[in-house]
Amino acid sequence: MTGSVEGADADADAESVPRERRAVVAKRVDAGDADLAEIRQLAAAAGYEVVGELSQTRTEDAAFMFGEGKVAELRELVRRTDAGAVIVDNDVGPYQTFNVGGKLPEGVEVIDRFTLILEIFGQRANTRKAQLQVELAELRYELPRAEAKASLAKRDERPGFMGLGEYDESVERDIKRQISEIRDELESIAEKEEARREQRRDSGFDLVALAGYTNAGKSTLMRRLAAEIDVDENADRHPDLDTTAESQDMLFTTLGTTTRRAEMEKRDVLLTDTVGFIADLPHWLVESFESTLDSVYRADLVLLVVDASEPVEAMREKLVTSHDTLYERNEAPVVTVFNKVDRLAPGELADKRGALSGVAPDPVAVSAKTGAGVAELRDRVEAELPDWERERLVLPVSDEAMSLVSWIHDHGHVDEESYASDQVTVDFEAKPSVVARARSKAAGLAPAEST
C-alpha cells in the first residue's frame, strides 16, 4: 500500500477563503498512482480552494474506503490546513461517508465525486430544463441510499440508525414519485425541442453538434465558428456568446444547450454546444442529462472536440469513451477535432496523429484560440454533411415566381440565376426536403416548367 499527503499552511489564505470553502481532496486507487488533477479542477469549478491533497493505493476498505491509518493522516491534514470539507474522488457509500466523517474534526463535510459534480451542475442550472435534470440526478443518486438506509433501519429497529435520520418506505415512494413527475416534464420539453429541430431542418438548416470532454475548448470553438446571429435552444444564453466574454479555463461552464448560426460558404448550419463529457460518470447521471444529449444524438453531424495538448493515453481514453457514448444512439457522421494545437511543440501533432490513427483516423487540427485550421474545419463540415440535391427550375416571370426565387436563396445555395424576357431559370443545391418543396411551389405557378 502506498500513499501521499500534501498540504498548505492553514494561515496561508485563511483570511480570504471561508473555512467551509477550503477543501482537502483525496483519492484511493486499486493500483498505480492516483491522479488528482481532475478532482482539483472540479473542486475549483464548485468554488472550493484546494488546500491539501491525499492519495492511497490499496484495495477498498469496506468501512472507510481508505485504510484506517490513512484516515488518521487525513484527519491531521484537515486540522493542519483548517479545511472545512474533504472531497473524495471516489464513489463513497453512505456508511463510509459517515465513518470517515466521524474521524474528522467537528463540522467538516465529506463530499464524494458525484455529490461534487451535482453541486456544480446545480450552480450552472439557469433554465427550467437544466434545473429539472439536476434534480433528477440528485434523486437518482439518493434513491439507492434511501433504500439502503430504510433496510438497515428496519432490520435494526432504529429509525435513526447511525445518525442517518429517519428513512422508511414513504421516503422511497416520495423519491420515486418525484422522479416520475420530472421525467414526464422533461419528456414534454424534449418533444417541443424535437419539433423545433424539425422546423429548422424544414427551413433548410443542417444541425451540427459540438461534443467532447469538458475543458476541450468547445465553447471557444463555437465562438470561432459562429455568425453574429444566435438562436437559443432553450432560452439559456451561454455567457461565452457575449462579445466581451472570455472563455474560462473551468469545467462545466456549459450546462444547458446553446445554438448559434455558423458561418459556412454554402450551407446554412446551426451549431449547438452542449454539456461536456467527464470521466467515470455513472449510468444514472448520464441518463439524467439524456434530453440535453438529444442535441448530439439527433444532429446531422457531430464535431468531437479533443484537447490535443493532453498526453496521448489521456486522449485515447477520452476518444474511446466518447465513441461509446456517441455511437450508442447516434447515426450521424462524427468528425474528430484536435483542438489547442497552438500548445504543441513542432512535430508533436504528427506524432499524436500517428499514435491515435486507430481511434481518430482523419482528425482536423485547429486552434480555436488563434483560428488556425478553422477554415479547413468549415470545409470539412460542409463535405461531411448529408448530400444536397441539384435542381434546375424554369419559372414564369411573376411576383409569385420572384417570391419563390427568394425562398430558394434563403433555403439552399443558388449556383446560377438567369432571366429571359418571360422566364427565370434557377440552378441550385439544397436539402432533398427543400428541393421537393421548391418543386411543389413551382408546380403551382402557371405556366411553370421544371427540367
- Annotated binding residues for GTP: 212-219, 273-276, 339-342, 367-369
Q: Provide long-range contacts, Cβ within 8 A and 24+ apart, for 404-409.
A: 404/438, 404/441, 404/442, 404/445, 407/438, 407/441, 408/434, 408/438
Kind and range of the H or E run holding 121: helix 113-124
Residue 232 C-alpha cell reads as: 437559443
Q: Provide long-range contacts, Cβ within 8 A and 24+ apart, for 70-75.
A: 70/3, 71/100, 71/103, 72/103, 73/3, 73/5, 74/24, 74/26, 74/100, 74/103, 74/104, 75/103, 75/104, 75/105
Residue 81 C-alpha cell reads as: 490546513
Q: Please state the φ and ψ torsions of residue 263, each to the nearest 5 degrees.
A: -85, 110
Q: What is the DSSP letter of 372?
A: T
CB-based burial, 132-163: b 16+ in 10 Å, e otherwise? bbbbbbbbbbbbebbeebbebbeeeeeeebee
Q: Which residue has the cell 488563434?
A: 370
CB atoms within 10 A of CB 416: 9
Q: Which residues participate in the annotated binding site for Mg(2+)? A: 219, 254
> How far is Cα 210 from Cα 269, in angstroms, rounded to an integer?
12
| H helix runs in 128-230, sequence order | 128-156, 169-202, 218-225
Sheet with 49-57, edge to edge strand ranges: 2-7, 49-57, 22-29, 85-88, 109-112
Give me the count of residues in the chain.
Answer: 451
> How far is Cα 125 from Cα 234, in angstroms, rounded to an integer?
12
Q: Which amino acid is at 349?
A: L
Please report how the helices 94-103 and 68-81 are oriented relative to each other, as an axis angle in degrees rounded to 10: 60
Residue partners of 378: CB distance under 8 A and separation at least 6: 225, 262, 263, 264, 265
Q: Which amino acid is at 292?
A: T
User: Hey, is 350 helix, strand or coil?
Assistant: helix
Q: Which residues participate in the annotated binding site? A: 212-219, 254, 273-276, 339-342, 367-369
